[in-house]
C-alpha cells in the first residue's frame, strides 16, 4: 500500500487581506507563486509542482498534494517560514495532518457486481454509468474505499496507515471469499 497524497489543515490565528498577501508572496518568491483567487480564498503554490496551499480570508488554510507525511510536515514548515519572511504576523499558528489517500493494487481483476453483493448493498454504491468503481464504506472502519475492476483500490478518510491497512486486509478477505464461490 502506498500513500498517493496527504492533506493538512491549520490556522494562522488572524484574518488576512488576500490580495496584499498574494502580492507580498509574489514579490518575495517571484514567478514561483501561482495565485488563483475565488471568493474569500486564494490557492497558491510556493514552487512549481509543489503542494497547493489554499488560504482563506479568515486565516485558516489547507495544504494538499504532499506525497508523504514528512513532505506535508516540511510543506507546513516552509509555509510558516515564508509567512515570517514576508512579515505576516502569526499569533497562533496551528497545523495538523488531516487525511491521506492510499492506494493498493490487488494484482487481479475484480467482478464489481459480485463484490457489491458480497459486501452488502447497504455499505456499497455501484452505478457504473455514473462512476467506474464500487464505493465501499465498511462499517468497521471510518474509511471509504473506491474499488475498481482493474484490482486497484483507493482508500480515503483517514490519516492512519494502520487503519487503511486494516481496511485493505478486510477487503482482501472479502475478495478471497468471492474466489471460493
Give the span between the Cα atoms of 151 and 105, in whole angstroms: 6
The CATH number given to 2-99 is: 3.30.310.10
pLDDT at 9: 97
Q: With 70 as the cut, is the pLDDT of residue 175 above it?
A: yes
Q: Say what the alpha-carbon torsion angle 70, 164, 49, 89 is, to the nearest 10 degrees.
A: -50
* Mean pLDDT of all residues in 148-165: 94
Number of residues that this document lists for the chain? 181
pLDDT at 33: 64
The CATH number given to 106-179 is: 3.30.310.10
For the chain, residues classed under CATH 3.30.310.10 are: 2-99, 106-179
pLDDT at 47: 82
* Mean pLDDT of all residues in 74-84: 94
pLDDT tier at 31 (50, 70, 90 boundaries)?
low
pLDDT in tens, 107-134: 999 999 999 999 999 999 999 999 999 9
Contacts of 22 (CB under 8 A, 6+ apart): 33, 35, 37, 42, 44
Amino acid at each position: 500500500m502506498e500513500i498517493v497524497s496527504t492533506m493538512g489543515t491549520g490556522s494562522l490565528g488572524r484574518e488576512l487581506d488576500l490580495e496584499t498577501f498574494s502580492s507580498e508572496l509574489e514579490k518575495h518568491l517571484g514567478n514561483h507563486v501561482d495565485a488563483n483567487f475565488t471568493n474569500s480564498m486564494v490557492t497558491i503554490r510556493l514552487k512549481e509542482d509543489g503542494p497547493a496551499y489554499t488560504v482563506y480570508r479568515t486565516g485558516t488554510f489547507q495544504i494538499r498534494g504532499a506525497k508523504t507525511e514528512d513532505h506535508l510536515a516540511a510543506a507546513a514548515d516552509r509555509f510558516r517560514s515564508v509567512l515570517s519572511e514576508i512579515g505576516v504576523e502569526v499569533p497562533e499558528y496551528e497545523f495538523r495532518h488531516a487525511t491521506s489517500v492510499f492506494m493498493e493494487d490487488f494484482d487481479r481483476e475484480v467482478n464489481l457486481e459480485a463484490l457489491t453483493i458480497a459486501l452488502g448493498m447497504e455499505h456499497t454504491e455501484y452505478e457504473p454509468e455514473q462512476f467506474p468503481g464500487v464505493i465501499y464504506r465498511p462499517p468497521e472502519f471510518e474509511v471509504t474505499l473506491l474499488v475498481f475492476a482493474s484490482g486497484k483500490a483507493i482508500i480515503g478518510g483517514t490519516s492512519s496507515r494502520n487503519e487503511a491497512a486494516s481496511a485493505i486486509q478486510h477487503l482482501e478477505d472479502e475478495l478471497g471469499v468471492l474466489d471460493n464461490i
